[in-house]
Structure 1
Amino acid sequence: MNILLVDGYNIIGAWPELRELKETDLAAARDRLIERMAEYQGFTGSRVIVVFDAYYVKGTERKYRQAQVEVIFTRKNETADERIEKLAIELNHIHNQITVATSDYTEQRVTFGQGALRVSARELLSEVNAMGRHIKKKLEKIEEKKPNAKIPLTDEVAEIFEKWRRGKK
């Protein structure tokens, strides 16, 4: 299984869209990152774990799932780097390929030394954007192949027929 460990705040600080959003709404930037990682996970089939430092969020350690992405806020006085290193060791198994997404050079070297692959924030952004373009092209092809009705219908009538087809009133 491919597992992607994401240094959340490092990626937010490196991706232009998220960096700009962070200036006005940090929670929205985190949510947008998680959305993008959910798309990545759905497209690649990889398990994705996003780790955020507790530095920006007061309280105790939290783990939860959002859009099938595992999200971890570290406990007080634990950095995301430390948690990612622990996870890389815990999840290191012959059947797992661990990849760490961060632009922190020290973190890259440490996790690489533990057998994990590394991807920089810029490389991950390029991969996510390429994936988005690929999905868009597929959707456009599906739309092209969509058969047109033999009888021209208004949008309103077509919507009524579609509801009937699906068994809705």
Structure 2
Amino acid sequence: MKIIFVDGYNVINSWPNLNGMKEYSFDGARNKLHDILVNYASYNNCRIYLVFDGHKVAGNIEKVYEEKFVTTVFTKFEQTADSYIEKKVNDIGRRAEIIVVTSDWLEQQTIFQRGAVRMSSLEFYNDVLKSEEKIDKRMKKNYVKNRNLLSDSVGDEILAKLERMRRGR
């Protein structure tokens, strides 16, 4: 299974739909990103680690919320998302296909050395949009427009009689 590490704040600052949202609600932008990633991961059958910096919050402890497809991590005080991702990628090694989503140039160079593939935040945004289009197409394909309702086959007079019978009149 493919594993994707996402630098959460880097993505929020890069994606147009989330960048505007963060101006009035960082929590809302984080939740929206999480929801988008859950859909993406379930459709693409991959595991995503969504990592948010907690390094500037004094006394912050690492918080990890695991779900079926997405694990959300808030790093501890004085630990950046980059350092968390580097450590995890190093621990996993070359046993799995790993993609790191970040636009941080230094992080990208480090990731290459560890055997992971890097994807910029905007490249990932376009990949997510393509997946959402495929999901929409699949849903529209599965939606049956002509459901063969009784009202399509019989006249109004018969429908009225049947309705009276149903109501016991």
TM-score tier by shorter-chain length is 0.7 to 0.9
- Stretches of structure 2 lacking an aligned partner (at least 5 in a row): 153-169
Instruction: Specify the alignment match of 1:2 in structure 2.
Output: 2
Bigger Cα Rg:
2
Contact 1:64 1:70 in 2 (8 A): yes
Q: d(CA) in 2 for partners of 1:26 and 1:56?
A: 15
Deviation at 1:68, TM superposition (A): 3.6
- Once superposed, what is the RMSD of the aligned Cα atoms? 1.7
Pick closer, same or farther for the CA change 1:52–1:24 going to 2, 3 Å.
same
Residue in 2 that maps onto 1:151: 150
Taking structure 1 as reference, are residues 150 and 21 closer, same or farther at Cα in structure 2, changes over 3 Å only?
closer
Alpha-carbon shift at residue 66 of structure 1 (Å): 4.9
Residue 113 (structure 1) shift: 0.9
How far apart are residue 149 of structure 1 and its match?
2.4
Secondary structure of 1:51's counterpart equals strand
Deviating above 2 A after TM superposition, structure 1's stretches of 4 or more consecutive aligned residues are: 55-59, 65-68
How many residue pairs align between the two structures? 151
AA in 2 matched with 1:21:
M
Aligned match of 2:97: 97
Instruction: Indicate the percent of aligned positions where both proteins have the same amino acid.
Output: 34
The 1:150–1:64 alpha-carbon spacing in structure 2 relative to 1, beyond 3 Å, is closer
2:48 paired residue number: 48
Q: In the aligned structure 1, how far is the partner of 2:51 from the partner of 2:41?
A: 15
**1:65–1:71 CA contact under 8 A, matched in 2:** yes
Q: Secondary structure at the match of 1:77?
A: coil
Structure 1 residue 75, shift from structure 2 partner: 0.7
Q: Which amino acid aligns with 2:140?
A: E
**TM-score with structure 2 setting the length:** 0.83
Deviation at 1:139, TM superposition (A): 1.1
Contact 2:8–2:30 (8 Å) recurs in 1:
yes
